[in-house]
Amino acid sequence: MNKTIIININGIVFHIEEDAYDILKLYMTDVKRHFSTSADSLEITTDIENRIAEMFNEILANQNKQVIVETDVKLVIEQMGTVEDFEFAENDDRAAGNSTYTYNTERRRLFRDPDDHLVSGVAAGIANYFDIPAVWIRLAFAISFAFAGSGFILYVILWIVIPKAISRADRMAMKGEKQDLKGFKKNFEEEMGMVKENLSNFRQEARPFVYKARDFTGDFFSHLGTFLKGAGGLFVKLLCIVILLTCFSAAIALIVVLIAFLAFGKTDIFHIFPFNIVNYDTNLIFLTGGFLLLAIPLITIILLTIGFLFKNATFNRSIGTTLLCIWLASLGAVVYYGARATANFRYGARLSKTINIKPTTNNTYYLQLNDAKYLTNEDSTRLRIKERFNGMIILDDDFNGNDMDSPDNVHIDVEKSDVAQPVLIESFSARGRNDEDALTNARNVTYRFLQKDSVLKFDRNLERLDNTKWRGQELHMTLKVPLNAKLVIDGKLDRNMNFNLYDCLQNNTPRNPAGSVFVMTMTDGLQCKIDTVAAALKPDSSKTKQPADTTQNKDQ
Amino acid sequence: MIVENTQTQMRKGILEYCILSIIAKGETYASDIIAELKKAQLLVVEGTLYPLLTRLKNNGLLTYNWVESVSGPPRKYYVLSEEGKLVLEQLDKTWQELVYAVQTAIGDRK
């Protein structure tokens, strides 16, 4: 007793046994696929279907029966011919190049694999399509889940888009097997083989762990190889291109930086921190060494990637050795000169100098920035100051590049003096390769402090004397003023003062054009002085201020 | 392989000529054509005939009429079109030339 199915071939109804139906369906799928690239695909397949229906009718009438069985289907297929027969007959058409029947039965189709699935069989299906182990696709998906779940979205889309392999024909198309009776047989044999394999797998499970670990390592690398050859190949190539682009842009940036440094030349760049630490020649070594240190790995990566990408050996042993030698040499140079430069900072020294300030009658001092540019004798000669700028003052503003000479090196602090005489204590510090050197470095600087009646003028920066390298020279000044002394500090000194001038300036409306006003108090040190008259005139502005803001604490 | 190829080429070359000749005798059904071709050992399976017929029809050499059948779906009965008849005449001529050429070529061998 067999189950029968009712089928309809172009309007004619047949009863057919299930096994026979499977074969017929497989055959028709195959035929349709074979002619699918032809323009007359529908007409040809309809002709064939009609003929099959007619042959079935003849068989049923001749044998006086009602149901089509497997042998009938096989007979009809034999008469009609398999796809292989069609291909054979069309052989020379293809050779002549005028054939449209280019369908290759070995071409794989993308299906979800219902036989080998964890979730929906997407990964297994993709693996089948590329003929690689499914585990790599699963791994790739698992990793891509980590990137903001992008892999998850992709998976769901693929789940929806890719059809599930339902029929045997689908499954064979999925695995790229020929879809005729032979392929069918092969499929069956493979299934039997899988059962056997599972049995032997079971035996393997029972093997000791050491063997399993060894097998796993072997499997891992063989699978990795397959992965790199298959779908991984595309991924790796994309990765290679990304690496190449990155390296090229990095190399271009590096070259631009080097050219920029060299083009600035001897005079312009090497007094800028940190190039002012060492002399010109050493700087060149540093620049070249640093450039090679970065460029050689880039070149290596680029060459290796190109070699891998285009499968040619641009990177041979001799190039590799040369590059490595140059790299090591530049590393050595940078380390050696770096260590030598560092040795110049080993010892510190500090010297102190006290300057008396003439007291003023109203106990008010104006602290201002001396914005006349400091010129060395050499500069004066070079610029011919006496001839060209006689009677003029060259101003030192924020934008002439001097600020980059060194890190902020002048700091001003204000303290209360116990005596009526205000003083300025200048404390110079510097570093050197020994005590003596450090002391010399601390001394080989100039700083101008000028007093003109009640105006105290400070330079913005500490100037090193000629031929003195940057050795962390700094100047800490402490201005000691008596009780109730009033200090009006110019906003331009903001960078040098150790406390905030701006907040104090804000608290007084209208602002004092001369700067922030401070008063030396008995207990709290220097305090911002609020102009009570101005505050009373603008009550709403004082009301909006928090009480804490109205008196500015000195930043210690 | 080379022998097989040559045989296939030879058969392919005359297949369309034979099909047109068979149809020229009158309205013909596909399986009748098959039967004759099988008898002539030119064609083994039916499936290969349908693409050929469709191509000849699309080239305007054939037309067909639907005829109701007692044992299944309606059948396509093929006839030669006017153009098909002209082509067949030309092919007849070519065939005679070929026969003469081949006989001349192999004649001395026997």
Binary contact (B69, A54; C-beta < 8 A): yes
Whether residue B66 is predicted with pLDDT greater than 80 in this model: the reply is yes
Residues of chain A positioned with their CB less than 8 A from the CB of B54:
40, 43-44, 47
Q: How far apart are CA A378 and CA A386, in angstroms?
A: 13
Q: Which region among A268-282, A359-373, A456-470 has the lowest average model confidence (pLDDT)?
A: A268-282
Establish if A348 touches chain B: CB-CB under 8 angstroms: no
Share above pLDDT 70 across residues of chain A, in percent, rounded to a whole number: 70
Closest CA to A336 of A297, A298, A376, A289: A289
Q: Are A54 and B72 contacting, i.e. CB atoms less than 8 angstroms apart?
A: yes
Residue predicted with more confidence, A382 or A80: A80
pLDDT at A399: 44
Residue A405 has pLDDT above 70, yes or no: no
Three-state DSSP at A415 gives strand
DSSP track, chain B: -HHHHHHHHHHHHHHHHHHHHHHHTS-EEHHHHHHHHHHTTS-S-GGGHHHHHHHHHHTTSEEEEEE--SSSS-EEEEEE-HHHHHHHHHHHHHHHHHHHHHHHHHHTT-
Query: In this structure, is the dihedral angle defined by the CA atoms of residues A24, A26, A28 and A34, taken in order, positive or negative?
Result: negative
Partner-chain residue, chosen from B5, B48, B58, that has the shortest CB–CB distance to A81 = B48
What pLDDT does B93 receive?
93
Q: Which of B28, B54, B64, B76 to mutate to test the interface with A (most CBs of A within 10 A)?
A: B54
Q: Where are the beta strands (DSSP E) in A230-271?
A: none
Q: State pLDDT tens for residues A195-217.
A: 666 555 555 554 555 555 666 67
According to the model, what pLDDT value does residue B96 have?
92
By mean pLDDT, which of A147-156, A294-303, A410-419 is the weakest?
A: A147-156
Q: Which residue of A has its CA nearest to B9?
A: A92
Q: What pLDDT is recorded for position B97?
A: 92
How do residues A223-254 score in pLDDT, each as one tens digit? 667 666 666 667 777 888 888 888 888 888 88
Q: Identify the pLDDT of residue A99.
A: 35
Residue A24 Cα distances to A126, A193, B34, angstroms = 28, 25, 22
Give the confidence band of A183 by pLDDT, cuts at 50, 70, 90.
Answer: low
Residue A165 C-alpha, separation from nearest chain B C-alpha, in angstroms: 27
Chain A residue whose CA is closest to B30:
A51
Residues of B near A (CB-CB distance < 8 A)?
Answer: 5, 8-9, 12, 30-31, 43-48, 50-51, 53-55, 58, 69, 71-76
- Cβ-based neighbour number of residue A536 at 10 Å: 9
pLDDT of A540 reads 46
Confidence of residue A89 (pLDDT cuts 50, 70, 90): low
Instruction: Name the pLDDT band for A302 (thresholds 50, 70, 90).
Output: confident
Mutation site for B-interface testing, chosen from A9, A46, A51, A90 by largest number of B Cβ within 10 Å: A51
Contacts of A40 in chain B (CB under 8 A): 51, 54-55, 58
Q: By mean pLDDT, which of A176-190, A356-370, A477-491 is the weakest?
A: A176-190
- Could B46 and A57 be called an inter-chain contact, meaning their C-beta atoms sit closer than 8 Å? no
Mean pLDDT of A310-323: 75
pLDDT at A136: 84
Q: Determine the longest span between alpha carbons in chain A, in angstroms.
A: 139
State the pLDDT at residue B89.
92
Residue A470, amino acid: W
- Closest Cα in chain A to B77: A47
Please give, rounded to a whole number of angstroms, the shortest distance from the CA of B9 to a CA of chain A. 7
Q: With contact defined as beta carbons under 8 Å apart, do B48 and B37 qualify?
A: no
% of chain A exceeding 90 in pLDDT:
1
* Highest-pLDDT range among A513-517, B80-84, B104-108: B80-84
- Could you tell me which chain B residue has the CA closest to the CA of A49? B73
Q: How far apart are CA A17 and CA A485, in angstroms?
A: 115
Tell me the residues of chain A between 29 and 48 that have a Cβ less than 8 Å away from chain B. Answer: 31, 35, 38, 40, 43-44, 47-48
**Which A-chain residues 184-243 have CB contacts (< 8 A) with chain B?**
none
- What integer pLDDT is reported at residue A408 of this predicted model? 66
Cross-strand bridge partners of residue A365: A487
How does the average pLDDT of chain A come out, rounded?
Answer: 75
Chain B CB contacts of A10 under 8 Å are: 73
Higher per-residue pLDDT: A405 or A477:
A477
Residue A556 has pLDDT above 50, yes or no: no
Q: Is residue A189 over pLDDT 90?
A: no
pLDDT tens profile B6-44: 777 777 778 888 889 999 988 888 888 888 888 887 776
Please work out, in degrees rounded to the nearest 5, the angle formed at the alpha carbon of residue B49 by the alpha carbons of B44 and B55.
150
Contact state of B47 with A40 under an 8 Å Cβ cutoff: no
pLDDT at A342: 84
Helix axes A231-268, A280-310, angle to 10 degrees: 160
A31/B47 touch (CB, cutoff 8 Å), yes or no = yes
Whether residue A40 and residue B73 make contact (CB cut-off 8 A), yes or no, is no
Quick one: chain B helix, strand, coil %, rounded to 5? 65, 15, 20
- Find chain A residues with C-beta within 8 A of B29's C-beta: none
Least confident stretch, A8-22, A35-49, A156-170:
A156-170
- Reply yes or no on whether the pLDDT at A547 is more than 50: no
Whole-number Cα distances in Å, A21 to A29, A167, A342, B42: 12, 12, 88, 31
Residues of A in contact with B45 (CB under 8 A): 78-82, 85-86, 89
Cross-strand pairs, A526? A520
pLDDT of residue A109: 77
Instruction: With a cut of 80, say whether residue A436 has pLDDT above it.
Output: yes
Residue range A33-48: mean pLDDT, rounded: 82
**Would you say residue A385 has pLDDT above 70?**
no
